[in-house]
Amino acid sequence: MVGTMEERKSLLADNAMTTLEDLMGFLGMQEADDATKDNLERLINAASGYIEKMTGRKFARKEYIENHHPTGYQELCLKQYPIRSVRSVVDTDCGQIMAPDSYSYEDTGETGVLYRDAGWWLRGYVSGLANDMTFIKRCLCVTYEAGYIMPKDGTEENPSDLPYDLQYIVWQMVQQQWNLASNGANGLSAFSISDVSWTFDKELSTQVQNVIDKYMRWA
């Protein structure tokens, strides 16, 4: 019996870069049983996780809390981007919350950079006769929101803004694995997910690899 979307519990992870409905449309699948749908969603999760691992960053929009060393420059590179908002930057040496108007991300947030005209002053521990700084203190705690609204989380008022090429390569990666499984004796409904990672790693198309390279964390 063919299951419906409402009858089964979705297995999609928080970082899933496409929906089951969109994937099935790409694959030309109008109907599928629950076992096949489960495996398709597992493959979506595997592909999405692989992309995050290879790019070195997260894509789902959420709040992040990070501790950073001051850079000594005007730019502070956060781990996730695009930056959507900054709740606070705390100087953990003294507990002071830095004034929001002392830094900005409007022009640099797409690449995860928090900019400060006065610079992010270095602080650390000194030693030796010359009082050279030998260890830099990790004294900045940044709480911020970054990332994209994922396809499964989009609404009419707040649609998904995940770049389309990322969703497209997930479709391609899953289609590749689906074709391999379909060429076997049992098809995708009986497919084991255990070997997905090595298949993605060894047989990615140039187009898929180029998109992964495009979104790779740069700093």
| pLDDT the model gives residue 202 | 63
- Domain spans in the chain, listed from the N-terminal domain onward: 20-57+151-214, 62-146
pTM for the predicted model, two decimal places: 0.83
- The two tokens of residue 63 are 């709040």
For the chain, list residues with pLDDT below 70.
1-7, 123-138, 183-202, 219
pLDDT of residue 49: 94
146 by DSSP, 3-state: which? Answer: strand
With a CB cutoff of 8 Å and minimum separation 6, the contacts of 99 are none
Strands (E) in 21-138, as ranges, are 62-68, 75-77, 83-91, 96-97, 113-115, 124-127, 132-136
- Cα-only R_g, the chain: 22
Phi, psi of 189 (to 5 degrees): -65, -20
CB proximity list for 32: less than 8 A, separation 6 or greater:
2, 3, 24, 40
Q: Which two tokens stand for residue 152?
A: 């499964």
Q: Average pLDDT of the chain?
A: 86
Q: Which amino acid is at 11?
A: L
Helical pair 20-27 and 34-55, crossing angle rounded to 10 deg: 100
Residue 187: its pLDDT value, please? Answer: 46
Residues in the chain: 219
Give the tokens for residue 85. Answer: 């908002």
Is residue 133 within 8 Å of residue 124, measured between CB atoms? Answer: yes
Nearest to residue 167, comparing CAs of 19, 11, 14, 12? Answer: 19
